[in-house]
Amino acid sequence: MPNFEVSITNNQEVFPVNLEEIEKNAGLILEYAVENLKILSESVLRDYDLDNKTISVDIVLTDDEEIAELNSSYRGIDKPTDVLAFALFADNPDLEAVPEDEIPLGEVIISVETAKMQADNNEIDLMEETMFLLAHGILHLLGYDHPDEESLEMLLEIQTEILASIR
């Protein structure tokens, strides 16, 4: 069984967030994804022995201004989005600079401002929306993508399954 390391940076001050709960749930999301053979078998980790490894994820909570800059720089879309994922391991599985016992999946960036707006629109609380976006981002770090409607539906099904498991 691997260990999970989650680091969180909160770059926004508009909405109060429970960093401990986000960190705990991120660990649970990772644990569920790694222990669930259906999810693991489709992920970038499928060919690795994960025993005694540390799987790490960085989470950044930000505002619309910062995420819009990142969205513009990296995706060429000049507007805010709810979540971005920068998959370090999925994009570079043979990283030379990484210790043998560590697998850095990458970084999930969530706009708390957009998450709050979406939560209000969906009549759910901010933490629930944040967990939805976090699960989505972590699945991207694991190599999942949704270039078409069918793959998006599959990803959303997996997200729902993961979130049901941590409630």
Tens digits of per-residue pLDDT, 41-66?
A: 888 888 888 888 899 999 999 999 99
Q: How confident is the model at residue 94 (pLDDT cuts 50, 70, 90)?
A: low
Per-residue pLDDT, averaged over 84-105, amounts to: 75
Per-residue pLDDT, averaged over 69-74, amounts to: 96
Q: What is the reported pLDDT for 47? A: 81
Q: How confident is the model at residue 29 (pLDDT cuts 50, 70, 90)?
A: very high
Q: What is the mean pLDDT of the chain?
A: 92
pTM attached to this predicted model: 0.92
Q: Is the pLDDT assigned to residue 32 strictly greater than 70?
A: yes
Taking the C-alpha atoms of residue 104 and residue 93, their distance in angstroms, rounded to an integer, is: 10
Which domains, from first to last, does the chain contain? 3-166 (3.40.390.30)
Tokens of 124: 């759910």
CB atoms within 10 A of CB 66: 17
Tokens of 154: 């599959």
26 in Cβ contact with 57 (< 8 Å) = yes
Q: What is the reported pLDDT for 138? A: 96
